[in-house]
Structure 1
Amino acid sequence: MNPNKELWEKGDFTRLAETMRESGSELVAALGISKGMDVLDLGCGDGTTAIPEAKLGANVLGVDIARNLVAAGNLRAKAEGLSNCTFQEGDATDLSELKDHSFDLVVSIFGAMFAPKPFEVAKEMVRVTRPGGKIIMGNWIPGDPTLVAQILKTSAAYTPPPPEGFVSPMLWGVEDNVIERFGAAGIPKENISFSRETFTFSAPFSTDEFVSRFKNYYGPTMNAFEAAGKNGKASDLQHELEQLFKSQNQSKTENATTIPATFLKVTVNV
């Protein structure tokens, strides 16, 4: 099995995506989506951004490598009565089932960044976008002090080194790398712009419960706990993450969590 597929099917990301709905909708509201636009949502999960895109009237195809998340997305679209939103399995490094110049807008929020072969990912996103269209990516930033970068950094400290040739997904959060990858796909530097934005995780439960969700349902953190357990360090990892979440929680309500995280928003004019 593709290791990336195995990673994202391992847990149940829907249990984390529930904390991302509000910010997902806010992000989509700023993308300038209009009725009848053709949108590809790549690495879509269960539709945190795809569903709001469809609600704005776009014709949305969500593509994700994880079978369970595709099924969850189709269930959500059906429950919302959105016949203009469908989800299917696919690999961001090879979208050969999608025709050239098929979409007005390609969106990937914390999705395609996790695929291997980043140059292939950029090439495929450009290929399926119509001339005059746009690509929007949301990517976590390496070394950033906010939540997600710190979760991944902490988890990495407890896991074995990655295999030879592994390219960190966090490098999508470095502007020069983004320019190089899209440049190789034929996009000039002046067609790429960047901004730092905030995505807020919001949950009606405590930070300790939030850590439990990452531990039990988020593939990278699940792997970290398995590796830490083999070294007798699972409790250390648990403590580090609980302290991290508590220190970043901005909610004034007891047993509620509000944690902002900074990301790099990439806009590519094709």
Structure 2
Amino acid sequence: MPLKIWNSMMTTHSPVTAALPANPNKALWEKGDFTRIAACMRESGEELIASLEVTPGMEILDLGCGDGTTALPAARLGANVLGVDIAANLVAAGNARAGQAGLHNLRFQEGDASCLGDVADESVDLVVSIFGAMFAPKPLDVAREMVRVVRPGGRIVMGNWIPRDPTLVAQILRISAAYTPPPPEGFVSPVTWGVEATVRERFEAAGIRPDDISCKPAPYYFRHPGPPVEMLGLFRDYYGPTMNAFEAASRAGNADALQAELAALFESQNKGGADDTVIAATYLRVIVTKA
């Protein structure tokens, strides 16, 4: 890893992992194995990065990076990339993927999107967070932290699932929520990041001018070389929110009903064949430019 990225992006504080605030999402995302879901998302991740005009030497922070669905393509284009995720297992998986790919300009470490204490002010050209930072608690803090670390003229690019959207992931989250206990008092739904007015409010509160915020829906494709029910099995067994839903449904004797409802969703949205799953999920693509 070139020294430039670590000298410019990191402060002299202790490592992020030493002082993480309590975050209930840590247990959620470490519970399953999101790498199994991410395998269905690689192609769209590469396409998204290709659209962002990433250039060699660019300093990129991938926030809520998982095991590198967008971080690896950015590093392959020559950017210096730091991936930060709340889940230790995904950080380990990302570092393993970077090592296997020989990407010395890419590193993953544990951290919280709402408290990036070790990332220096105005040290990043681009923050990417695709279905990552939206799940962090304290969304106003998340917006402030992303704005803080971006240099003037730099960008923040988020991908956020949209509430009540009829496509796959929003419906998975909606169906799963119906089978799980209500969230604790004060809980802010992650999909509020998929509401343009809310996104604008959060970034304007962090000092961004209204004209420097752009939001538009875009498709993200999930691909699996097998039937839809097989891809559903990956979500049931490895995706934290659906795992929790199935556990709660099993306790209530409703697991079969949950399975049937999700199976119907996956089948109806599949645009591939009987043994080839291709499902589009609509998300809100947010681009913020820091003046």
TM-score w.r.t. the length of structure 1 is 0.99
Compute the displacement of 1:256 (Å). Answer: 1.3
Distance 2:227 2:272 in 1: 10
Measured after TM superposition, the shift of residue 205 of structure 1 is 1.2
> Are 1:189 and 2:210 matched, yes or no?
yes
Q: Of 238, 256, 262, which residue of structure 1 is paired with 2:276?
A: 256
- The residue aligned with 2:50 is 29
1:194 Cα deviation from its structure 2 partner: 1.2
Runs of 4+ in 1 over 3 A off after TM superposition: none
Residue matched to 1:68: 89
Distance 2:92 2:279 in 1: 28
Q: RMSD in angstroms over aligned alpha carbons?
A: 0.7
Q: CA deviation at 1:67?
A: 0.2
Question: Does the aligned pair in 1 maintain the 2:23–2:137 contact within 8 Å?
Answer: no
1: CA distance between counterparts of 2:141 and 2:189? 15
5+ residue gaps, structure 1: none
Report the equivalent of 1:43. Answer: 64
How high is the TM-score relative to the length of structure 2?
Answer: 0.92
1:207 to 195, 210, 228: 228
- What is the alpha-carbon distance in structure 1 between the residues aligned to residue 54 and residue 205 of structure 2? 27
1:2 Cα deviation after fit: 2.9
Residue 235 (structure 1) aligned with residue 262 (structure 2): no
Structure 2: stretches of 5+ with no match in the other structure = 1-21
1:53-64 equivalences in 2 (<5 Å):
53-64=74-85
Aligned mate of 1:145, from 145, 166, 173: 166
Deviations 1:39-59 (A, max 9, x none): 000000000000000011100
Aligned-pair distance for 1:160? Answer: 0.7
Residue deviations 1:131-162 (CA, integer Å, cap 9, x gap) = 11000000000000000000000000001110
Which residue of 2 is the match for residue 98 of structure 1? 119
Work out the CA distance in 2 between the residues paired with 1:182 and 1:224. Answer: 32
The secondary structure found in structure 1 opposite 2:257 is: helix
Deviation at 1:121, TM superposition (A): 0.2
